Amino acid sequence: MAEQYDYLIVGAGFAGSVLAERLAEDSGKKCLVVDRRGHIAGNAYDEVDQAGILIHKYGPHYFRTNSNKVVDYLSRFTEWHQVSYQVLVWTDGKYWQFPINLNTFEQYLGRPSTTEEMEATLAKWREPISNPKNSEEMVLSQVGRKFYEMFFKNYTRKQWKRDPSQLDASVCGRIPVRTNRDNRFVTDTFQALPQGGYTAMFKKILNHPKITVKLNHDYRQLGQDVTYGHMIYTGMIDEYFNFSEGRLPYRSMRFEPETLPVEYFQPAMQVNYPNDHEYTRVVEIKHATGQKAPVTTIVREYPEDFGPGKEAYYPVPAPDSKALYDKYATKAQGEKGVTFVGRLATYRYYNMDQVVAMALTEYEKLKAR
Ligand SMILES: Cc1cc2nc3c(=O)[nH]c(=O)nc-3n(C[C@H](O)[C@H](O)[C@H](O)COP(=O)(O)OP(=O)(O)OC[C@H]3O[C@@H](n4cnc5c(N)ncnc54)[C@H](O)[C@@H]3O)c2cc1C
């Protein structure tokens, strides 16, 4: 006989897991969570490698948020390890402070400076673009061409295989420019990693008598074995519709870990390489997790085209992909038995906290039905 559930939830990442927990705990619904990967936690998955170092398998996941609601919710499942995320850029043979701030400006000048001098210089360097329409215009309007070429242009081209002029202003606009000495990567009020790691947190989120988790299962393989009242879908929206409107563009990535017999390899958690090497960045997550060990593991990230056998890591924020996504969004509205939630299902370049907030909001809508 078929197994019966109230909800079939496709994907055990933040979107699927938070919705499963809310539906099970708050509404007493019986949920089946399926993921085609062999683990829970989606892209936030972390694991201890052979050298005993906790690594983020799908690229570094720096949790940060300004939402008390999101922090309060996740704090039911984890303690936190406070972090101030630090990023450097390697170019012209040395490390530079990043995001750009007064320290970066002083490095550039090769002498001490002031906020006033930096502001006056940027005012001269900035290109007069009042309403930036793409990422190139965004950066040129903030810092001018010199810093655009040093820090943004080639990094963005490597990462997205598109010129910044072909990407939404929000892609480079996410990165702040400061004229003070604030070296933090982001300024959100809450910046921390789950104390025991993401996977441990997800185990607690999904640990509920009304939640069943099936790994290594594509939901399309379930067939007649399972019946359910409603589906929550957190995978790629174009795949759900069998690419009927055409394929949405995504960027993929190859992560190459290397363990080294030193306590630390580099001076910060993340070093970006805009102008050297094929990889975009080297991440040494130990700086952020605070793990103490005599060896270290670094991960080099090589952006790749998305295709067969590759994971779709990034929706591409650009006008052409948005137009194609809108066609799928219209189709999704007609799927009455399905709720589309999360980064791939809504084709948005969302951070983890935004996905948690989105899942909590979707839960309230489902509850009200
Ligand atoms: C390299 C990288 C770095 C990032 N860094 C940060 C960061 O520093 N800070 C931050 O806040 N956010 C970061 N993010 C974003 C973060 O990963 C996402 O916001 C979050 O993971 C989205 O959760 P989700 O549940 O929507 O999707 P996912 O985590 O992608 O989960 C979707 C799940 O659905 C499963 N699935 C898809 N189709 C099927 C199917 N047909 N059958 C069964 N299962 C299926 C997939 O296997 C996947 O596990 C980063 C993302 C990437 C790729």
Residue 287: strand, helix, or coil = helix
Look at residue 305 and tell me whether its pLDDT is greater than 90: yes
Instruction: Give me ligand 1 centre to Cα 13, in Å.
Output: 6
Mean pLDDT, the chain, as a whole number? 97
Token pair belonging to 180:
């003070």
DSSP one-letter code for 167: S
Mutate to test the pocket of ligand 1, among 279, 352, 358 (most ligand atoms within 8 A of CB): 352
Q: Which strand (E) or helix (H) includes residue 362?
A: helix 352-368
Residue nearest to atom 14 of ligand 1 (CA): 351
Look at residue 369 and tell me whether its pLDDT is greater than 90: no
Average confidence (pLDDT) over 353-360: 98
Torsion angles phi and psi, residue 311, rounded to 5:
-90, 145
Residue 341 CB burial class (10 angstroms; 0-12, 13-18, ≥19):
buried
Determine the atom of ligand 1 nearest the C-alpha atom of 341: 26
Instruction: Give me ligand 1 centre to Cα 179, in Å.
Output: 34
Determine the atom of ligand 1 nearest the C-alpha atom of 220: 41
pLDDT score, position 1: 80
pLDDT score, position 197: 98
| Residue 320: pLDDT band with limits 50, 70, 90 | very high
Distance separating alpha carbons of residues 254 and 257, to the nearest angstrom: 10
286-297: b (≥16 Cβ within 10 Å) or e? bbbbebeeeebb
Determine the atom of ligand 1 nearest the C-alpha atom of 34: 43
| Residue 253: pLDDT band with limits 50, 70, 90 | very high
Instruction: Give me ligand 1 centre to Cα 320, in Å.
Output: 22
Distance separating alpha carbons of residues 256 and 299, to the nearest angstrom: 5
Instruction: Give me ligand 1 centre to Cα 286, in Å.
Output: 22
The pLDDT tens digits for 75-116 are: 999 999 999 999 999 999 999 999 999 999 999 999 999 999
Look at residue 223 and tell me whether its pLDDT is greater than 90: no
Closest CA to 250 of 305, 301, 303: 305
The beta strand positions in 247-342, using DSSP E, are 250-260, 270-272, 281-283, 296-305, 314-315, 338-340
Distance separating alpha carbons of residues 238 and 246, to the nearest angstrom: 8
Average confidence (pLDDT) over 363-367: 97
Instruction: Give me ligand 1 centre to Cα 44, in Å.
Output: 7
Distance separating alpha carbons of residues 328 and 16, to the nearest angstrom: 20
| Residue 16: pLDDT band with limits 50, 70, 90 | very high
Determine the atom of ligand 1 nearest the C-alpha atom of 219: 42
Token pair belonging to 310:
């590759």
The pLDDT tens digits for 160-174 are: 999 999 999 999 998
Instruction: Give me ligand 1 centre to Cα 344, in Å.
Output: 7
pLDDT score, position 256: 97
User: Where exactly does CATH 3.40.50.720 map onto the chain?
Assistant: 3-81+195-249+310-368
Average confidence (pLDDT) over 254-276: 97
Task: Tell which CATH classification among 3.40.50.720, 3.20.20.150, 3.40.50.1100, 3.40.50.300 matches the domain 3-81+195-249+310-368.
Answer: 3.40.50.720
Closest CA to 3 of 222, 156, 277: 222
The pLDDT tens digits for 108-158 are: 999 999 999 999 999 999 999 999 999 999 999 999 999 999 999 999 999
Token pair belonging to 153:
């242009």
Instruction: Please tell me the pTM assigned to this model.
Output: 0.96
The beta strand positions in 39-118, using DSSP E, are 46-48, 54-56, 64-65, 80-82, 87-91, 94-98
